[in-house]
Amino acid sequence: MGKILAAAWLAILLLVGQATLADQEAQKAETAKSKAEVLEEKAASEDSKMPPASAELITKKQVQAVDPMGEEPVDDAITCLARTIYWEARGSEANVMEAVANVVMNRVGHEGFPNTICGVVKQGYEQRTCQFSWWCDGRPDDAEEDKSYTIAKEVARKALNRQLKDRTGSALYFHHRKVAPDWSNEYTKTIEVGEFIFYKPASGKAK
């Protein structure tokens, strides 16, 4: 009987421990999402050049607690940015992922684009002319590769924290080098990073 009771108590302690851990991870995720809202708002404002205060920065543990399985709805700044980085550049080097993040962040608040990350990522959905094709290609949007998605979330964290160097020369557009979209003739090429070519409008205004 004593062994049975001991085993029962051990099982209860394990369950309590697991529940506590799950609560802690959920709290980290909510904190990260709240911080991301503030950071994207500042990124879209006139004082976007001011670095965030240390208390505003999203930590590595906090960002990894968001959408841990890559299956949550794409409706917060971190998830929208991380999924875009993942689907546009999964399997690429970190500098390519960072360049994709640069384009999204460059668009936030820029004239001609929405002032939120999810707004930028989902722009054009209603007309089926999505700026980022993964968002309206009709296929599932869940992240499938844990390692690539973990890296994508870390890149998203740095981008929101304004800890990423802009590798793109203030680019607002990019495409894979294997394609040649008509719009590429209307813009100024800034740089090539990995398999992608980046552009910005010659006038500085988005079309």
Query: Residue 182: pLDDT band by 50, 70, 90 thresholds?
Result: confident
Per-residue model confidence as pLDDT tens digits over 26-69: 999 999 999 999 999 999 986 667 789 999 999 999 999 999 99
For residue 156, give the amino acid letter.
A
What pLDDT is recorded for position 137? 81
Paired residues of 175 in beta bridges: 197
Per-residue model confidence as pLDDT tens digits over 113-148: 999 999 999 998 766 678 898 988 888 899 999 999
Paired residues of 187 in beta bridges: 201
Is pLDDT of 15 > 80?
Answer: no
57's tokens: 């920065």
Q: What is the mean pLDDT of residues 155-159?
A: 98
What pLDDT is recorded for position 96? 97
Tell whether pTM > 0.95. no
Q: Is 59 exposed, middle or buried (0-12, 13-18, 19+ CB in 10 A)?
A: middle
What pLDDT is recorded for position 115? 93
d(CA 85, CA 15): 36
DSSP 201: E
